[in-house]
Every structure is written in structure tokens, then in C-alpha cells.
Amino acid sequence: MMTQQSNNFGNRSVRRRGDGLTFATASLLIWTGCASPAIVAPKPLELGPPAGMQTHASQFVGSLLSGPQDGEYQTDRLVACMVEVCLLRDAPGSTLDPLAPELGLVARLQGQTPVQGGSRLAVGGRWALGVEADAAWSGITSGDWGDTKELESQAVLLPLGTTYRLKFSAEEQVEDPENFLREWPDRGAVQKSLSVGIQYGWIDSKPSLLTGFALGDLVQAESETELTTVPDEGGRPGGDFLMEEWILPSRGPELNGGSVVWVLPSPFELQGAGSVAIRVRTWAGDEENVDPQLLESSLALLESGAQGKFATDGPETEEQAIRRQRVRAMQYVRETRERHVAGEPGQGEALRNALVYVCSQVALPLGMDLCIAAEVDWLNGWVALIPDPSLRDGATVDALGWDVERAAWVHLARTMVKGDLPDSLMALVLRHGGEAGHYPSSLEDAARNSLDAATFEARIEMENRLFLEDASPAARVRAFDWLQRRGLEPSDWDPLGTKEERTAPLREWLTKFENGEGA
């Protein structure tokens, strides 16, 4: 029973001129350094969750390690819990006790095999119990420990025999340094996660609470099977693979009430947070003295789980319906490619038509242009780089669309490096990428390391702004035209003006971006 809430000169038509982003950036830095020796300290990353982070809550019959199981629960034995989670910019240092000595079990959930040993979550992890926990949480939430940001706060009522799990997940692009020649397909985005779970069950013949934490991240291949097979998330054999690891501290919250605080290293990148702080508070209850609404909602969660329904969704929402349709359309594209590769007649144009449908539904302007201009064999290579949507649990509609667009940019960049990109497609690259489109290494890097389309567009915009300072008039014109079509060009500025005419207004305009003021 389970419920869930939820370098590169490959193109022969382009002159060799080095990497555009590196040259433009270096020129800007040298010019700025000569004009003003003052060093401005970079602004710290805004504290917040990683882009596209999803939060899932589930309640089920079963244990932390077993997951959902068939069975019964007892409503005459209840415990109420409050779970609070927040981000910390800095680690807690030695203020709290180290967590590692408290670990009773470390379990890697591949084959449900428990293994004794260290844990990445425990390295640097800290904890406190009772009064010390309340004092620590007060220091965290008051800002005494530095910047903090609340992530989630949920109350839940656990009948005996049930487990509650709160899971945070986010996708990240993690490069494989051993696959720099691209002998193997990219593994795509990695779904990292951090979970807190509370189990109310029988331990040593008495009702007890057990708290655990799970880390979903890449780990090194070790066994013969792991070293020779392709990971489920893609990549090369023997590369890192995705693993979920649970740690179960030997001490935690008590049935009769109290607080426990844990501060764990953050598994996520790009969020300005060094740690995740979690507090669990408990108080005993029964059907007579607990909040009736809390009891009703908790039992409804379990009962709806038994019927195979989502806990809080009810009827399918509009966004869920759109996502289901997108997944189905993307799966059809993959199936059509497989039939085309197998040599079935007529599948080439069927592939083009299927791609047109997907790109029109997700509003992908580059994708639509490629569907019209590219040969079927090129489209085949594009589709090969799109991640399997059935393996993208939790991905939003926009994230699925970015999977398609990112694969297109990566395939374009790699075809440019090989010198095989037709002029018609090169024209599309320059239309959509501006002057930055002449540099495939920069394009691929931008696409692979952008978590969404907005991040990629912002990076391409930044590169084109830097090209306004290029020594080549043609490069300046191309970058200016690209920005102008988007209403992003500097006003009263001529890319073909003299250096004296260009320098002062351009510097003033660029400074606004450096200061975060925009155009």
C-alpha cells in the first residue's frame, strides 16, 4: 500500500578563430582590468532549492527498507509527528554531536542488501536530541547559524505498522570524465534525491519509532556486473551508477514525545546550500485525543493507497493529463525510430511527423525548424539522444520539453565538430544561437549543463553580449543582430562604429548586467 503526493572548428564554412566564449571573456576581462583595477567580490549564490526540485510525500504499510507491503495497521496505537526541513548555507561545525557513531545500519537498496560501513550522509553529519535539539533548531531558524531557507513542514499521524517518507529530488547533469570522446551515449540527467522516513512498527517485540535518511546519488561501480553492464540511467559500462543508500541512526524520536535534529550534507548542487537541517517532533496520541482532521487525512492517505490511488490528487489534473500525453508522444517517437533503424518502409517520414507533433506540443522553435530542414538520418541521431521519458519519474512537462531541445543542440554541436553539418542546418544554428552558434564546444557545454531551457537561453544571451566586444566586425554584427531580434541589444550603439564610439556605451551597458540590473 503506498500513496504519493505529490573546440571546434569542424564546420568547413567557418573560419578558424579559437573558442569564442574563452576569447571574448578574456578580452573583456583584460580590458576591464586595465581600465579599473578594483576587484568586486562575486555575489554569493542565492540560497534556495535546486531548479526543478520535486517534493513527494508517501505513507504506506511496511518498513523503511522494505517499502510498501501488503498488511494491516492498528489505529488504536497512534503517534503524531511533525517533520520540518530547511537549507543551511554553512555546515554546523562542532556545535552538535557527530552522527557517524550513532549509525546502526547502512543499507544500499539494490537487491535490498544491507551493508555495514561508512556513509556519505554521515560524513560531516551532526545531530542533537531533546533540549539540545530544540536549542539547535531555534538557532537555525533565528539565523544565528547563518542563512537558512525553509523547504517543507508537514504533520502526519502514524498508525502502528506504517511508515511515512518525505522525499526531495532534483535532476543534475553529471559529466563522466572517462567518456570525453563520447564513445558511449550520454547518461542524461541524474535524478538525485534526499529522503527522511519515520517507521512506526514492532522492534524487539515492542512498538518503536525508527527514523532513517536516504541518499540517491551516483556511486562507483564495484561488482563484476556493475563493471560490465550499461547502467539503467545510461552512460558507459563501468561508469558510475545510481544507487539509493539508507542510514538508520540507532537513536531517534521517542513515542512519548520529544525532538531530534539532524544536520546532513546537501546532496544537491547549484543552490548555495552546504547542509540540510531536519527536525522531527513526536507526541503520543490515540483516536480520542488527536486532531480529528489529522487522523482523517492520515487514514485517507492509507486507504487511498490501498486502492492504488494518489493520496491527494483525486481526479487527474490538467497538468498530469498533459504530461501523460507528452510521455506517450515521446515514446511513440522512440518506437518509430526503432522501426526506421530496423529498415521498415515508410518509417523515416513517420519519424519526421512524430517529431513535428512533439515539438509543436512542447513549443520548441528550434525543434520545429529541424523537423522541416533536416534529413531523416540526422533526425534519427537526434532522437537517439533524447532520454527515455518512461524513466523520468517526477519530470515536469517543461523538463520533458527541454530533454528534446537539449538533445537537438548536443547533436548539432557534435555534427559540427565532425564537419558534417549541412549549410541549411548551420543557418538554423546561427539563427537560434547567434554568434555563439559558431562554436560547437560552447554550445554543447551550455546545453549539457543547463537544467532547463531558460538557463540555456540566458547563457547563449550572455555569450552573444560578450561577442559585442569581439575584434571582428562580422562577429559583432551577428551578435548584435541576434540580440536585436530579441529586443536585448544596447540602445544607441553601432557594432560598425569606431572603437572610441563603441567602448564607453558598451561598457556602461555591460556593467548593468554585471550588477544584476539587466538591460
At position 476, the amino acid (one-letter code) is R
Average pLDDT over residues 289-313: 54
pLDDT at 83: 93
31 — pLDDT class (breaks 50, 70, 90): very low
> Is the model's pLDDT at 38 over the cut of 50?
no
The β-bridge relationship of strands 241-249 and 103-108 is antiparallel
**Rounded to the nearest 5°, which phi and psi values hold at 33?**
-65, -40
pLDDT at 37: 42
pLDDT at 458: 87
311 — pLDDT class (breaks 50, 70, 90): very low
At position 400, the amino acid (one-letter code) is L
39 — pLDDT class (breaks 50, 70, 90): very low
Please check whether residue 21 is in contact with residue 479, taking contact to mean a CB–CB distance below 8 angstroms.
no
Average pLDDT over residues 301-330: 60
**Rounded to the nearest 5°, which phi and psi values hold at 127?**
-155, 165
Segment 425-448, tens digit of pLDDT:
999 999 899 898 999 988 988 888
> Is the model's pLDDT at 380 over the cut of 60?
yes
Q: How far is CA 127 from CA 82, 134, 219, 254, 278, in A?
A: 17, 11, 25, 15, 9
The string of DSSP codes covering 486-502 is TT-SPTT--TTS-HHHH
| Category of 71 on φ-ψ map: left (φ > 0), alpha (ψ -120 to 50) or beta | left
Segment 204-215, tens digit of pLDDT:
678 888 888 888
Q: If you count them, how many residues does the chain have?
A: 519
Instruction: Provide CB contacts within 8 A for 6, sequence distance 6+.
Output: 54, 55, 56, 57, 310, 311, 312, 313
